[in-house]
């Protein structure tokens, strides 16, 4: 008999650790066998006093070093089998298009912490001028105005802000901090940081390594505006959500079904195929793409399909049940929430060499949740919410002119939802997003890829190679030409030939079993006599074999007999 479970298993308590975005604090949470992922996320958001919790998620790494988002609808213990200890990372899962549409400053502060991490690990890649400005805004938020007696000359070098932090770049950061950001309180510096960061091409992008049909190394990014491809540090294509009809995967192949507005009448579809390192990585990429699409494009969660399937013949576990609200519902529900702006504690990462400065604006804050560790850290400062009057009195963030930093211009607010990644302000290569993609549906590279080991980041996760580490490719992908597209392949691809071979091998044992059954039922042979007299065989003959044989004989006679 199989052991389905016991009362002792149900009442067993498990412990997990949740790493927060500021790295100086962790949470400890106890949960039982039947607790689902939503229980852990609610626990963390309650500890942080977050109401707009739908933008966040819990990430973990399995025993095969594959990243996953914790499924909020499934029991936790079934998702983390083999993990000891159980560690989750609290991260931003859905980056809002405009952070200033979020209702509460405490939510925007968590977005700021996530983007600060992205900048440090190279995911928020940007030109040196922009990275220096963002780093200077972080220092302004941490230290306030420059004080020569307290900070000294080489104070920037004591901070780790960028993936590639050179002495020349540190000089630029110090120049901006000392000359252009004076007077900005932490909330204003963080707001200016968000205004600049959300205009970048790599905003909200967690790069997934893939290969195109030619075997070129690319990185796929998914955010509120669609699916983007990067070659080196350059954005090559941008597939917008309205143009994407379907997303699925086949083994290691991630497939995007596109139909552009000019092709609607002709019902002409285009396929884009990208090969992932492993099948589990491809499944993870597919889940991320589907969830991002539903969250940012659906008007309500009730219109989301209850079950989404995306895998093909070789893909297992390709069913997705979307849970939670969509962005429109989150914003509508937050309009009805009435509470005073919550006070929160900003965690500082200033080096120990800086003595802690106390100001008259520092106020005593309520204690953190009972399970919050490192609560007495000397690197914490208590800051209340900043009023709109205070924000209006602060100097604006200097805008980059392309060759320097010293342009005192009021920062621009965000535009329409799909405008950011196509506007001339968001990066160097935005014009390429208007190009049509190359045809990838007939020539798919299925050669095995090498698994290059990479160092783990501070999440304990094996990160994808940051975009800033990749070399610029001087040979860009050619423009898409729909005139040269063939609707049907002129040859059988290696993937199709392998599928045909597998089907043939599956049919061969079935035909062999049918042949043995006919021999057993029809052949009058002495060694088979005892077996033919068994009650089970007699019952099989009378109820199934003979009626089926007679029906087939009648059908053949009617089909080929005389008329």
Could you please report the per-residue DSSP string of 74-119? SBHHHHSTT-SSEEEEEEESS--S-GGGSS-HHHHHHHHHHHHHHH
CB atoms within 10 A of CB 429: 15
CA 215 to each of CA 27, 282, 433, 476: distance values in angstroms, whole numbers, following the listed order = 43, 16, 21, 14
Which CATH code for domain 99-124+126-198?
Answer: 1.20.80.10
Tell me what pLDDT residue 459 has.
55
Q: Give dist(CA 384, CA 455) in Å, integer.
A: 38
Tell me what pLDDT residue 376 has.
38
Nearest Cα to Cα of residue 76 among 58, 97, 49: 58
The one-character DSSP state at 399 is B
Could you please report the per-residue DSSP string of 63-81? TTS-EEEPPTTSBHHHHST
Tell me what pLDDT residue 265 has.
67
Please give the chain's pLDDT, 563 residues, in tens: 334 455 556 778 999 999 999 877 899 999 999 999 999 999 999 999 999 999 999 999 998 889 999 999 999 999 998 888 999 999 999 999 999 999 999 999 999 999 999 999 999 999 999 999 999 999 999 999 999 888 888 899 999 999 999 999 999 999 999 999 999 999 999 999 999 999 999 999 999 999 998 899 999 999 999 999 999 888 999 999 999 999 999 889 999 999 887 766 666 788 899 999 999 999 999 999 999 999 999 999 999 887 777 665 445 556 788 888 999 999 999 998 889 988 888 877 766 666 444 333 333 333 333 333 344 333 333 344 444 444 444 444 444 433 333 333 333 333 333 333 333 333 333 333 334 334 333 333 333 333 333 334 545 544 444 555 443 333 333 333 333 333 333 344 566 667 788 888 888 888 888 888 888 888 778 888 888 877 777 778 777 888 888 888 888 878 776 65
Query: What would you report as the CA-atom Rg of the chain, rounded to the nearest whole angstrom?
Result: 30
| Residue/partner pairs of 338-345 with CB below 8 Å, 24 or more apart | 341/104, 341/105, 341/106, 341/384, 341/385, 342/49, 342/104, 342/106, 342/385, 343/382, 343/383, 343/384, 343/385, 344/48, 344/49, 344/106, 344/109, 344/383, 345/380, 345/381, 345/382, 345/383
Claim: this prediction has a pTM higher than 0.85: no
Euclidean distance between the first and the last CA atom of the chain, given in angstroms as a whole number: 59
Tell me what pLDDT residue 352 has.
61
Name the strand (E) or helix (H) holding 221: strand 217-223
Judge: domain 206-330, CATH 3.40.640.10. Answer: no
Judge: domain 13-92, CATH 3.10.20.90. Answer: yes
Cis peptide before 85 (omega within 30 of 0): yes
Tell me what pLDDT residue 500 has.
81
Tell me what pLDDT residue 80 has.
93
Q: Give dist(CA 419, CA 417) in Å, integer.
A: 6
Q: Give dist(CA 532, CA 526) in Å, integer.
A: 10
Cβ(487)–Cβ(481) under 8 Å?
no
What is the maximum alpha-carbon separation in the chain? 110
- What distance lies between CA 194 and its chain's CA centroid? 20
């Amino acid at each position: 008999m199989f052991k389905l479970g016991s009362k002792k298993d149900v009442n067993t308590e498990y412990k997990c650790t949740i790493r927060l975005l500021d790295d100086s604090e962790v949470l400890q949470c106890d949960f039982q066998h039947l607790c689902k992922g939503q229980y852990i996320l609610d626990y963390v958001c309650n500890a942080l006093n977050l109401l707009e919790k739908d933008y966040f998620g819990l990430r973990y790494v399995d025993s095969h070093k594959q990243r996953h988002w914790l499924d909020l609808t499934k029991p936790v213990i079934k998702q983390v089998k083999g993990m000891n200890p159980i560690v989750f990372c609290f991260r931003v899962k859905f980056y809002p298009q405009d952070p200033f549409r979020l209702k509460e400053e405490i939510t925007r502060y968590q977005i700021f912490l996530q983007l600060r991490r992205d900048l440090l690990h190279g995911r928020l890649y940007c030109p040196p001028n922009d990275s220096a400005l963002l780093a200077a805004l972080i220092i302004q938020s941490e230290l306030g105005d420059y004080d020569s007696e307290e900070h000294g000359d080489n104070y920037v070098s004591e901070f780790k802000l960028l993936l590639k932090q050179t002495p020349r770049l540190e000089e630029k950061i110090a120049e901006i901090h000392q000359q252009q950001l004076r007077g900005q309180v932490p909330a204003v510096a963080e707001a200016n940081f968000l205004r600049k960061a959300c205009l970048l091409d790599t905003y909200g992008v967690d790069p997934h390594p893939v290969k195109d049909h030619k075997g070129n190394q690319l990185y796929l990014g998914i955010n509120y505006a669609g699916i983007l491809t990067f070659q080196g540090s350059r954005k090559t294509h941008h597939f917008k959500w309205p143009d994407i009809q379907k997303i699925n995967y086949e083994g290691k192949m991630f497939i995007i079904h596109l139909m552009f507005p000019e092709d609607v009448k002709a019902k002409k579809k285009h396929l884009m195929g990208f090969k992932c390192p492993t099948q589990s990585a491809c499944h993870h990429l597919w889940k991320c793409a589907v969830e991002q699409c539903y969250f940012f494009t659906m008007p309500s969660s009730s219109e989301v399909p209850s079950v989404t399937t995306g895998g093909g013949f070789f893909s297992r576990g390709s069913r997705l049940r979307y849970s939670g609200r969509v962005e429109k519902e989150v914003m509508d529900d937050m309009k009805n929430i009435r509470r005073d702006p919550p006070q929160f504690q900003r965690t500082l990462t200033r080096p120990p060499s800086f003595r802690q400065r106390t100001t008259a604006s520092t106020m005593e804050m309520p204690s953190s949740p009972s399970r919050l560790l490192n609560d007495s850290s000397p690197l914490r400062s208590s800051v209340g919410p900043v009023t709109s009057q205070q924000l209006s009195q602060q100097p604006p963030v200097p805008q980059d002119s392309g060759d320097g930093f010293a342009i005192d211009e009021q920062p621009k607010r965000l535009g329409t939802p799909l405008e950011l990644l196509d506007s001339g302000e968001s990066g160097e290569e935005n014009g390429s997003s208007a190009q049509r993609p190359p045809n990838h549906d007939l020539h798919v590279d299925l050669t095995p890829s090498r698994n290059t080991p990479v160092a783990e980041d501070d999440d304990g996760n094996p990160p994808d190679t940051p975009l800033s580490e990749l070399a610029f490719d001087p040979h860009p992908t050619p423009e898409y030409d729909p005139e040269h597209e063939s609707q049907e392949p002129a040859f059988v691809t290696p993937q199709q030939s392998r599928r045909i071979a597998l089907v043939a091998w599956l049919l061969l044992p079935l035909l062999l079993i049918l042949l043995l059954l006919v021999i057993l039922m029809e052949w009058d042979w002495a060694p088979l006599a005892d077996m033919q007299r068994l009650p089970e065989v007699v019952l099989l003959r009378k109820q199934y074999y003979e009626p089926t044989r007679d029906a087939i004989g009648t059908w053949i006679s009617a089909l080929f007999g005389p008329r």
